[in-house]
Structure 1
Amino acid sequence: MKIIGIDPGLRNMGWGVIAVDGPRLRHVANGIIHSEAGELGPRLVVLYRGLCAVIAEHAPTAAAVEQTFVNKDAVGTLKLGQARGIALLAPAEAGIEIGEYAPNAVKKSVVGVGHAAKEQIQHMVRFMLPGVELAGPDAADALAIAICHAHHLQGRALRIKIST
């Protein structure tokens, strides 16, 4: 199974693909899709086309997207929500099932605490995916989201196995 994790962002949308083989996780690829400042519509097109290209290249079988947290800047939150819409649309259009996770759930799954710093997330991603070269913090976050989804799917499979 291949999982793509997506860290939605209007300026920088992080993505990371991992392969899952039972309890083993392996890094496949990661990167950041950048959109320049300017009109919102063209920026969303850049994000959408970039994410579609990543999905076409790596053919993930599952996707995971971080949920948006609401901050004090309502306009910023709305714009981030539109980028998150792209992060949901591209895999959905490809027929990929999507899991959604709160930022604290991702941090707790990867680091062990829900309020971990970015540096802690990067450290644990490097530990869990030996040899990974991170394209940046947004890509590290995306890989953490993919790892969180893998743990969730493994837990669900174990619960199903136990109940049968």
Structure 2
Amino acid sequence: MIVLGLDPSLSCTGWGVIRFEGSRIAHIANGQVPTAPKSPMADRLDQLYSAIAAVVAAHGPDRAAAEEIFANKNAQSTIKLAQARGAVLAACGAGGLRVNEHSARLVKKSVVGTGAADKRQVQAMLKVLLPGIQVAGADAADALAVAIADAHLSPR
């Protein structure tokens, strides 16, 4: 089964594609979609939608997984995150994908063994689980972690 993991963000959305069969996991691809902060919101959301739709078309995942939304102390940041997440999930929906959602804490626990793991620990575990891969950046690493967690948490 092929899973597309997503770490939605308006500034830079990460994505990662893995294949899993039983307990075996293999890296297919990963990347990031940055948007320009000074661009109009509609253009930034369109860029996210188009980029993720292209990833879906290129890699043909069977399903997708994304981190659940969390509330920031800053309401504006939460709204922007929700808008970006909507564009990314809409691209998955347009591609016919079911999208599973997992909390950040559950993703960390599934990949590292503790829900309190930091980004450095997640990235270190990715190197163990997917040896030799080149990760496009921190957001792509988070997306790969989401995909791996989904493979463990939702095996079918």
Q: Identify whether the pair has TM-score above 0.5, normalized to the shorter chain.
A: yes
- Specify the code of the residue in structure 2 equivalent to 1:34: P
Q: For the residues of structure 2 that align with 1:114 and 1:13, how far apart are their CA atoms?
A: 22
What is the CA distance between 1:149 and its match in structure 2?
Answer: 0.4
Aligned twin of 2:101:
100
Q: Deviation of residue 89 (structure 1)? A: 0.9
- Within a 5 Å distance, the mapping from 1:82-161 to structure 2 comes to 82-154=83-155
Structure of higher CA gyration radius: 1
Q: Distance in 1 between matches of 2:87 and 2:116?
A: 26
TM, length-normalised to structure 1: 0.92
Residue correspondence of structure 1 range 1-164 to structure 2 within 5 A: 1-38=1-38, 39-154=40-155
Cα displacement (A) at 1:103: 0.6
Secondary structure in structure 1 of the residue aligned to 2:10: coil
Give the distance between the partners of 1:16 and 1:61, measured in 2 at CA. 13
Residues 87-134 of structure 1, C-alpha deviation per residue, up to 9 Å, x if partnerless?
211111111111001110100100111111100010111111111111
Shift of 1:68: 1.4
TM-score by length of 2: 0.96
Structure 1 stretches of at least 4 aligned residues deviating more than 4 Å after TM superposition: none
> Identity of counterpart residues, as a percentage?
46
Instruction: Give aligned pairs, total.
Output: 155
Q: Is the 8 A contact 1:65 1:87 kept in 2?
A: no
| Aligned-pair CA distance for 1:31 | 0.3
Q: Deviations over 1:73-92 (max 9, x none)?
A: 10011000111111211111
SS of 2:43's partner is helix
**Aligned partners of 2:35, 2:72: CA distance in 1, in Å?**
22
The runs of 5 or more residues in structure 2 that have no matched partner are: none
**Deviation (angstroms), 1:153:** 2.2
Matched to 1:61, the amino acid is D
